[in-house]
Amino acid sequence: MEFLVQNTAILPEAAAWLIQQAGEKRVFTFYGAMGAGKTTFIKEICNYLAVQDSTSSPTFSIVNEYSSSQGPIYHFDFYRLKDEQEAFDLGYEEYFYSSQYCFIEWPEKIPNLIPLDALQVHIQVQEDLSRLIVLK
């Protein structure tokens, strides 16, 4: 399944599409090059899910928790992790298996810890700088 985002004005529609496609899935892994728009897209998904807090990249804190009418939403950025042990120390299992939404940037850093039923979201920058979102 694919969705082409030609400009940021389409992001709300893309966020709604993603959540509808996900069904009951709650763990999402976001793959894409640096600057592809992973954090921007996650912010829009949080807007769609009626997050009440200000959203930002958890690059330094590794995880941000947001409040929503659907319960807590967790946003991870594992870019700075040196190894999977750091995710263990963070208590990743409590988050990933909480049945709450978990949005994970840089899942490549913890490949052995990602739940098997996680939805893979690949963001590909196109030649015209649009973004192709591919679900796997």
What CATH number is given to the structural domain containing 68? 3.40.50.300
Q: What pLDDT is recorded for position 57? A: 81
Distance of CA 60 to the CA centre of its chain: 16
Sign of CA dihedral 2, 56, 109, 20: negative
Range of the domain at 113: 2-135
Q: What is the pLDDT along the chain (136 residues), one digit of tens a residue?
A: 999 999 999 999 999 999 999 999 999 999 999 999 999 999 999 999 999 888 888 877 899 999 998 899 999 999 999 999 999 999 999 999 999 999 999 999 999 999 999 999 999 999 999 999 999 9
Tell me how far apart the alpha carbons of residues 9 and 6 are, in angstroms, rounded to a whole number: 8
CA distance linking residue 41 with residue 38, whole number of Å: 5
Distance CA 135, CA 30 (A): 10
Token pair listed for 63: 């995880």
The pLDDT, as a whole number, for residue 81 is: 94
Q: Tell the burial category of 112 from Cβ atoms under 10 Å away from its Cβ (0-12, 13-18, 19+).
A: exposed
Extract the tokens encoding 40: 């921007």
pLDDT of residue 55: 87
Q: Report pLDDT for 109.
A: 96
Token digits for 107?
Answer: 């899942």
Number of domains in the chain: 1
